[in-house]
Structure 1
């Protein structure tokens, strides 16, 4: 049976095995997908050993996505621009690296009927989470994407990588009360119970998305809802959709995601 894993540290919280086993059942694919904890100093050795055992592929989660990129023999364009890899495919002793996070985000937004073409998007944060979603967002032909970060120079450096005139860098204080169609929180603020320092006027009548998810609305989404956001969407759908893209890469079939997402929501 074809073997797949998700490797991370920590990994106990991972929903990926449930998601991929559901996809396999649905598409009648014979595979075994499990999560595996990796010690911080054993990542490279673990991946090589797993590949040499005849395994077909792996997902990579924190904190190993950049290390995974360094191991790859080939990278997709979106992985190169993201500067990180979350999907490895093993072919003839070589490691092919991809990043499906951005595709997962875009698909989830489209599932929620968010119009991305000609839209004005505010992306909060300029770290790894933001990097991984810029190319797929640009592919949807938005009018503009402003990347706002506490340190403006970091956002400016990020923009240089993409060489696209639809991208602009800004500090949180520079945004004023500009109008956006969509605000995406790619900062880690919600993980620490904080809210990005932006004006309440920005979220009024605007769709708001947070890449994190949990049983309750994240601090950012709860705040946005109180202040008049049109829609508030968490990142659980992004998790399922990025997994579906990995599954497609490995198995060349498209799983249906809605029933898997509903199952995860019910388990929450």
Structure 2
């Protein structure tokens, strides 16, 4: 049985996780034998459960809410993406060390590419300045975005995020902050990284804001942001592709092969 690779996702709550279903689907496509379990953990148990998993021959572990920052603190070696995000959703062990990456941003980039939307030379507006935004700025810059504006209700938070991330991205991407009630102008892509769709709040966008594509990071919930885009005839997508995309990047890190994202969008 040693040829069957052991994986898991850890979180609290954990029942809602689609990760086992996604990774089993990838494994079937790539002809890899694996098990993928859900692990429920209390805050106080997180660290010991991660160590226990790898001690007992676990190959890779995904990390979901609320443990991504804890995972970041636990790692011995961090990828550039994880350092930019200050959060880790993908763990693996090598030579007694625990490695961490954040695949959320690359998952978003891959999902947008799968839609056929351009990112090279794009002008992008991101709504919200929380952890979700922090995790995607570096991969969007690496994908060739020339301008990224972070808009947030609390301007100071957006400005701080810009300050934190500026040193990590190349000078060819201009990164700036803006109060959310002052956004205007023309953008190629607007990404909603606020919790509005999760909380059921209405996100109001100014009429003079022009954009070609709308991406909602959340999925499976009603979204005033996507309704706005739909009413204006703007191309839009929810975040299911990003969910699949980030899982594929984790799978690739662990197994050395990358399934095609568009093969799995029907799992929605």
The TM-score normalised by the length of structure 1 is 0.93
Q: For each residue in 1:104-157, what CA deviation from the matched residue of structure 2 results, as whole angstroms up to 9, or x when unmatched?
A: 000000111111111111001111000000000001222211100111111111
Aligned with 1:250 (options 248, 251, 254): 254
Q: Distance in 2 between matches of 1:62 and 1:179?
A: 34
In the alignment, does 2:212 pair up with 1:206?
yes
Aligned with 1:182 (options 179, 186, 189): 189
Q: For each residue in 1:215-253, what CA deviation from the matched residue of structure 2 results, as whole angstroms up to 9, or x when unmatched?
A: x54222112212x14211000000001100000000001
Residue equivalent to 1:102 = 105
Q: Is the Cα contact below 8 Å between 1:69 and 1:97 reproduced in 2?
A: yes
1:260 is displaced (CA, Å) by 1.9
1:122-161 → structure 2 map (5 Å cutoff): 122-161=125-164
Q: Distance in 2 between matches of 1:43 and 1:205?
A: 42
Higher alpha-carbon deviation: 161-170 or 77-86: 161-170
Residue equivalent to 1:223 = 228
Residue equivalent to 1:28 = 31
1:205 is displaced (CA, Å) by 5.0
SS class of match (1:122): strand
Q: Is the Cα contact below 8 Å between 2:197 and 2:224 reproduced in 1?
A: yes
Residue equivalent to 1:17 = 20
Q: Is the Cα contact below 8 Å between 2:248 and 2:261 reproduced in 1?
A: yes
Residue equivalent to 2:200 = 193
1:180 is displaced (CA, Å) by 0.9
- Between Structure 1 and Structure 2, how many residues are aligned? 260
SS class of match (2:208): helix
Q: Is the Cα contact below 8 Å between 1:205 and 1:229 reproduced in 2?
A: no
Name segments (4+ residues, structure 1) moved above 4 Å. Answer: none
SS class of match (2:7): strand
In the alignment, does 2:213 pair up with 1:239?
no
In the alignment, does 2:176 pair up with 1:168?
yes
SS class of match (1:114): coil
Q: Distance in 2 between matches of 1:195 and 1:179?
A: 22
In the alignment, does 2:16 pair up with 1:7?
no
CA-based RMSD of the aligned residues comes to 1.4
Q: Distance in 2 between matches of 1:100 and 1:200?
A: 34
Q: Distance in 1 between matches of 2:5 and 2:94?
A: 13
Q: Distance in 2 between matches of 1:40 and 1:222?
A: 37
Q: Is the Cα contact below 8 Å between 2:189 and 2:211 reproduced in 1?
A: no
1:102 is displaced (CA, Å) by 0.3
1:54 is displaced (CA, Å) by 1.2
